[in-house]
Amino acid sequence: MNFLKFAFFCFAASVFAGPLLINQLGFNPESEKFALVPGSDANDAEIRDMDGKTILKIKAPLVYDWNYSGEEVQTYDFSSIKTPGVYRLYRGGEYLGNPIIIDNHAYENLTKAALKWFYFQRVSAPVDYQYGGKWMRASGHPDDKVIVYGTDESTKKGYEEATGKKAPKELKVISSPKGWYDAGDYGKYIVNSGITVFTLLELYENFSSYMDTLSWNIPREYKNYPAILEEVRYNLDWMLSVQDNDGGVYHKVTTLAFGGPVMPEKDGAPRYAILKSLTATLDFAATMAQASVVYKKFDKAYAEKCLKASELAYAWAKKNPKALYKQPSDVETGNYTHSGEDAKDEFRWASAELYRATKKANYLKELKENPFTNNGAWWGDVNMLAVFRVALDEAFPKDVKDAAKKVMMNEANNLRAVGDSSGYHLPAFDWSWNWGSNSAMANNAMVLLHAYLLTKDKSYVDGAQQVLDYLIGKNPMEISYVTGFGFRSPRKPHHRPSQCDLVDDPVPGMLVGGPHLGKQDINLDGKDAWKCPNYASSEKPALAYLDDECSYATNEVAINWNAPLAYVAGALQAIYQGISPSVKK
């Protein structure tokens, strides 16, 4: 693009006439391309290039209500424009909003940044200037001397209350370095690592020919690995360190309470490996089984190590089917549990991954005895991860595959129907508007993309495109929810390094949690001065967002939110480039 021409055009063009809600990064030539205009004053429009030449005329669209924001909106479809370039949408001779960009590689830098953020989250290592630039930082949390919770005098009472067992007599310390900081805080959690690692490895498995060639600026220890597998191994190594000799896996490595807003090297409170749990152990088993398949091509010894750890963990889970995590009274960090938890979904996922990795009959038997549900994916329900695995892998018998395909396609078709009838064309259910709503949207897009991998029906790609459009600008807040990307993006995420590093710009590539009406961080009674003002007074979930460090409910970041962002952006880029998916149906 000729920048001087663009700048002159901005100043010389007609008066700006209002918002245009669009994907702020741009569109691939082959993608579905929608722009939204709030309001009911439907008028004809036209798309002009930067020389002012009319490229497309669009008739006045229908007006739709969107309940999640309380708006009337109208959609302009310019999918027929396939020539890369920069354009404007005009109505009545005046242009709306920001420029429209069409680019063959619109999502490649986004994919790289979403993946590189995991490097910025590395524990026990510095972010060096040559890799992190102005976001460099010192190493934090060596975690080479982590106390096993309940074995020191200060936590024995809490251990006994939580487990109903007598605390061990001797102090136990383990070495548990590496891994990723889970979110805006400095904890490391197995449950959340499980779905995160799955999603990143799934991106590699589904699009290996694309990911084999994609690289970004991170330190390389295993130079025969693709970059994504280098990064994922950094977390897998930590996960392996929290498996006990009996196969059980500690739920998390954290301090007893959340630390304050300081850089990681300043957070010096004792770190604990806190309680072995059923869900953590099964998530570990599933992840390690998947890793054993993926890494076998590059590192046979490491793959075998992962598989051995996986089978040992699964055996522990079978022996301890009631060992659900209970948060001790003296522990305040994230508990990663939910009401109604029974671990059936974790058993389902682990047995599916282990059967693929080993072909052992007992895992298939247990998978068949634990039928798929219709539940979508989040850390608290990993049923859909098992569905993805079985539906798209030739290792499974036809009857089990058919059951998985039915669940997946039913969910995908429901999502597409919602998107087609939605004012914002967003494939979202009512339950999608919860803590981490942006992640729920991205996980919905993953369902649609898996349906595409199964059927090659481009309508599912279109649905995923609408999700990505929403995340990076086509939303009522007129913001890209990814730091550093788009015309407007979050400036004050709830992320300790970004809050404390004295750099004006937040670490780039982070997907913030997004709007919802949970109000967990709002100062409703006026007594909690450190909480946020009531930004959700409208009672519309799509408007309940605040770009402020206080808003941990809407503006925090998390590894399990960035992973599906990376999957969706990377998958769409690969598909539009015509790169064949790597699935064995």
Active site residues: 494, 547, 556
Whole-angstrom distance, CA of residue 17 vs CA of residue 336: 47
280 close to 251: Cβ distance less than 8 angstroms: yes
- For the record, the structure tokens of 106 come out as 């619109």
List the one residue out of 554, 378, 532 whose CA is nearest residue 481.
554
| 311 CB-near residues (< 8 Å, 6+ apart) | 285, 354, 358
261 close to 499: Cβ distance less than 8 angstroms: yes
Q: How many other β-carbons are positioned within 10 Å of the β-carbon of residue 11?
A: 6
What DSSP designation does 265 have? G
Q: Is 330 left (phi over 0), alpha (psi -120 to 50) or beta?
A: alpha
What DSSP designation does 225 have? S
Whole-angstrom distance, CA of residue 247 vs CA of residue 316: 5
Biggest CA-to-CA distance, the chain: 80
- For the record, the structure tokens of 23 come out as 């994907």
The angle formed by the CA atoms of residues 313, 318 and 321, to the nearest 5 degrees, is 110
The angle formed by the CA atoms of residues 45, 460 and 85, to the nearest 5 degrees, is 40
Burial 511-544 (b: 16+ CB within 10 A, else e): bbbbbbbbbebbeeeeeeeebbeebbeeebbbbb
CA dist 184 → 31, 146, 174, 250, 335 (Å): 34, 21, 25, 21, 15
